[in-house]
Amino acid sequence: MAQWVLHVDMDQFIAAVEILRRPDLAGLPVIVGGRGDPTERAVVSTASYEAREFGVHSGMPLKTAVRRCPQAVLLPVDAPAYDAASAVVMHTLRAVPGAVVEVIGWDEAFVGIETDDPEQVARAAQTAVLASTGLHCSVGIGDTKVRAKIATEFGKPRGTFRLTRENWFAVMGDRPTKDLWGVGSRISQRLAELGVTTVRELAQAPEERLVAEFGPNTGPHFGRLGRGVSSNVVDDTPWVPRAHGRETTYQQNLTTADEISGAVRALAAQVVEDIRREGRACARVQLKVRFAPFFTVHRSRKLTETTFDPEVIGETALDLLRRLADDRPIRLLGLRAEMVAPEGGYEPPRTHGRRGNP
C-alpha cells in the first residue's frame, strides 16, 4: 500500500459553526468578526459562501464588508465555540483506522495514511466528521504535504481532489505563482520581476537566480514549491506552543508617545502572563504595528538574555518601534514573545493558527 497525505480542511469553519447553532442563517450571507459591530474597528474572521459572492473575505475591515454586503448578518467571534468544535473534528480524524493526524489549525489537519484507495479514506473521513459535528469538510489528497494542501482548494466545497507528481504540472503549471501555498502577493511580485509568473516557470527557474533574490534557504524552497516537492511525513507529536502573542486594534488612533508606550507595556504584561504559564522565558520579541490608514510593519529582535521581565520585553518592542522613525497615527499594535524550547535553547515557532478557512 502507498503512503498518502490527506489535507482535511473544514468548509467556512467559523461561519459553519455559527449556522449550526442558528439554522435559520443557512443560505444567508453571514459575516463573523470582532464583536459583530461594523462601527468598531475589526476585521472579518470568516464569511459564508453567500457573503463571499459579494467580495467579502477574511481580513477585510468589517466596515468594508458591510458596504459590500449590507444585507449580511454580522456575528461576534466566539472562540470557545470554535475550540470545542475543532476538538471534536480532530478526535474524529484520529479515530480513522491507521490515521496519523497533525493538527495545523482550528480547522485543518494533515492525515497520514497507508492505503491503495485514498479517495475512499477521504470520503470516510468526511462522513465521520459530518456525523460527529454536523460540519462539512474538503479533503486534498497528495503524495506530499504541499500537493495535498493545494489539492484541497480544487475539492472545495465538500469534495476531494488528488494532486500528485503525475498531474502536478497539468493542474498547476500555468497557474500564477500566488496560487502556491506560502507564496503571497509580495513574493509573487518579486518573482514576476525575475520573469517568473507561473508555477512551471518557477519550477524551471535556475536555482542561482532564486538564491540571489531570496537567499540560500528560501530561494531553493520556492523552487521546490514550484515542483510541488515537500515532506510527506505527518507528525502527530502534540503541539507545543513556540510563542505567545497579543494584539489590539484601537478604536481611536494612538498619536502621543505616552499613549503608545502605555499600549505596548500593557501588551507586554499580557504576553508575560501567557509565557509564565508555559514556564518558558522569552528569547525573541516580535512587534507588529499598523499605521493609519492600513499600513502594517513587522520587526523582531533576539534578546541577549532570555527573560520574563515585562519591562525588558516592552522596552525592546518600543525600541523597534522608535527605529521605524514613523510618526503616523497607530491603529493596531501586536507583541509576540518567542520562547525557549521546552528542553532549553531557542527555536523558531512552528506555524499553527486559528483562522476561518475558505
- Please give the positions annotated as active site: 108
Pairing label, strands 160-163, 137-142 = parallel
| Calpha distance 358→355 (Å, rounded) | 10
Q: What angle do CA 231, 236, 239 make, to 5 degrees?
A: 105
Q: How many CB atoms lie within 10 A of CB 322?
A: 11
Q: Are the C-beta atoms of 196 and 175 separated by less than 8 Å? A: no
Q: Which amino acid is it at 163?
A: L
- Ordered DSSP codes for 82-100: HHHHHHHHHHHHHTSTT-E
Pairing label, strands 243-254, 30-32 = unpaired
Q: Are the C-beta atoms of 103 and 90 separated by less than 8 Å? A: yes
Q: Which has the closest alpha carbon to 300: 216, 243, 219, 221?
A: 243
User: Residue 353: which residues within 8 A CB-CB, separation 6 or more?
Assistant: 104, 105, 106
Q: How many CB atoms lie within 10 A of CB 338?
A: 23
C-alpha cell at 243: 510563542
User: Residue 287: which residues within 8 A CB-CB, separation 6 or more?
Assistant: 298, 299, 300, 317, 320, 321, 333, 334, 335, 336
